[in-house]
């Protein structure tokens, strides 16, 4: 059955909105809580299996709301446990979603917020695609739910998603309202009940939206810094020409750290480019030691990219130098290299293949 794009998706409602929706339509508002329980707590997505929901409500839902989830059209499993998914929305547009295991049974889902991205960072494969469209909140929540269903059906109880990072395709703050709504849904007590510390929002530095973060659930904030000099940052990230480092840091100081705790700075390390002693000096001067954490990301090489990943020794040296200056610094381990888990890579590879098969 072809989904009706005119219908609103069930997965775009917060509990409160769903209660109101039922009330407005002459149905009991408590049904909202029961449906939330089936979908988000029990991971049962087929209305025919919702045993305490009346046929009247089921008919109403089928007629008025879209109940289908985004479809997994490809999945890959890396030797390190990372699972990568290509997920198709109801209009056939695809995004990638990656489930990354970590210690203490953590399983983090890296979700996309847009199809493509308008920011155009030169090191990022997604950036070369341009923006096709925003995802709506149900399509962001849908990535989580469709992967949950996949794990439940294909893997079993051993793997359950525990964390979310907005580090897939797209710039989440460019799609502020939908990402905010999706985050509220992820955090619902009646639903997934993900705590604010389990969710991380990563942004390339959209200053006006950073200044609006006090109107966003108080999740972890990561800023894609990647350079501590304006000329290098502008080469890597065109957004720096609109909002340079001074404006970015000023905006970051408006974030309420009582709620958001600290700021993580992501820094992609590129060989012979931003891995020099002067970069360490500049980072030391730029960042507040008390409220900052640096996450070094060794550049993930892909075909056609001119940048190279530094050696492991160089990465370790860069980390040690920052630590010596009092900056808490971690190195992100490369995950899923064998299944092209870097930002944007799978999608283009797969689309090339899919086109060949057409």
Q: Establish if 113 lies at the interface with ligand SF4 (CB under 6 A).
A: no
Q: Return the residues of window 104-143 that contact ligand SAH according to CB under 6 A.
A: 123-124
CA dist., res. 345 & res. 337, Å (int) = 10
CB 203 within 8 A of CB 209: yes
Q: Establish if 121 lies at the interface with ligand SF4 (CB under 6 A).
A: yes
| C-alpha Rg value of the chain to the nearest Å | 21
Q: Establish if 179 lies at the interface with ligand SF4 (CB under 6 A).
A: no
Q: Which does 135 bind (CB under 5 to 8 A by kind): ligand SF4, ligand SAH, none?
A: none
Phi, psi of 8 (to 5 degrees): -80, 145
- Answer yes or no: 343 catalytic: yes
Q: Establish if 236 lies at the interface with ligand SAH (CB under 6 A).
A: no
Phi, psi of 248 (to 5 degrees): -65, -50
Considering only 31, 161, 221, 268, the residue that binds ligand SAH (CB under 6 A) is 268
Place of tokens 């890959």: 76
The residue from 17, 48, 96, 124 that is catalytic is 96
Residue 357 makes CB contacts below 8 A (sequence gap 6+) with none
Q: Which does 109 bind (CB under 5 to 8 A by kind): ligand SF4, ligand SAH, none?
A: none
CB closer to ligand SF4, 78 vs 169: 169
Q: Return the residues of window 321-340 that contact ligand SAH according to CB under 6 A.
A: none
Neighbours of 196 (CB within 10 A): 16
CA dist., res. 125 & res. 116, Å (int) = 9
CA dist., res. 289 & res. 38, Å (int) = 45
Considering only 136, 139, 159, 171, the residue that binds ligand SF4 (CB under 6 A) is 171
CA dist., res. 82 & res. 332, Å (int) = 14
Residue 358 makes CB contacts below 8 A (sequence gap 6+) with none
Q: Which stretch binds ligand SAH (CB under 6 A): 15-23, 47-55, 140-148, 197-205?
A: 197-205
Q: Which does 266 bind (CB under 5 to 8 A by kind): ligand SF4, ligand SAH, none?
A: ligand SAH
- Minimum gap (Å) between residue 169 Cβ and ligand SF4: 6
In this structure, are strands 94-102 and 106-110 parallel, antiparallel, or unpaired?
Answer: antiparallel
Q: Which does 342 bind (CB under 5 to 8 A by kind): ligand SAH, ligand SF4, none?
A: ligand SAH
Q: Please give the positions annotated as active site.
A: 96, 343
Binding site for ligand SF4 (CB under 6 A): 117, 119-121, 124, 126-127, 169-171, 204, 224, 343
């Amino acid at each position: 059955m072809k989904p009706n794009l005119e219908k609103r998706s069930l997965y775009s409602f917060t509990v409160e909105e769903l209660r109101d929706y039922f009330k407005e339509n002459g149905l009991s508002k408590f049904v909202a809580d029961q449906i939330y329980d089936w979908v988000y707590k029990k991971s049962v997505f087929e209305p025919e299996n919702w045993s305490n929901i009346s046929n009247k409500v089921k008919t109403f839902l089928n007629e008025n709301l879209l109940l289908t989830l985004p479809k997994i059209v490809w999945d890959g499993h890396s030797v390190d446990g990372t699972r990568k998914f290509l997920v198709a929305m109801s209009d056939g547009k695809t995004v990638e979603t990656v489930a990354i295991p970590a210690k203490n049974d953590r399983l983090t889902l890296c979700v996309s917020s847009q199809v493509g991205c308008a920011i155009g960072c030169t090191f990022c494969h997604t950036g070369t695609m341009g923006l096709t469209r925003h995802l709506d909140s149900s399509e962001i929540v849908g990535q989580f739910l469709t992967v949950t269903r996949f794990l439940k059906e294909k893997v079993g109880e051993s793997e359950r998603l525990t964390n979310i990072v907005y580090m897939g395709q797209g710039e989440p703050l460019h799609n502020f309202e939908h990402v905010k709504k999706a985050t509220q849904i992820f955090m619902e007590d009646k639903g997934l009940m993900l705590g604010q510390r389990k969710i991380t929002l990563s942004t390339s530095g959209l200053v006006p939206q950073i200044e609006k973060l006090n109107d966003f659930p108080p999740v972890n904030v990561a800023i894609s810094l990647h350079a501590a000099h304006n000329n290098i940052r502008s080469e890597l990230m065109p957004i720096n020409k609109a909002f340079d480092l001074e404006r970015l840091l000023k905006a970051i100081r408006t974030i309420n750290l009582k709620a958001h705790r600290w700021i993580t700075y992501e820094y992609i390390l590129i060989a012979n480019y931003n891995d020099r002693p002067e970069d360490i000096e500049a980072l030391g001067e730029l960042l507040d030691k008390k409220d900052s954490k640096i996450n070094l990301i060794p550049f993930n090489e892909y075909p056609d990219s001119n940048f190279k990943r530094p050696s492991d020794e160089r990465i370790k040296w860069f980390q040690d130098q920052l630590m010596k200056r009092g900056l808490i610094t971690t190195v992100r381990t490369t995950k899923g290299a064998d299944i092209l888990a870097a930002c944007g890579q799978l999608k283009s590879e797969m689309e090339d293949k899919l086109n060949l098969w057409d």
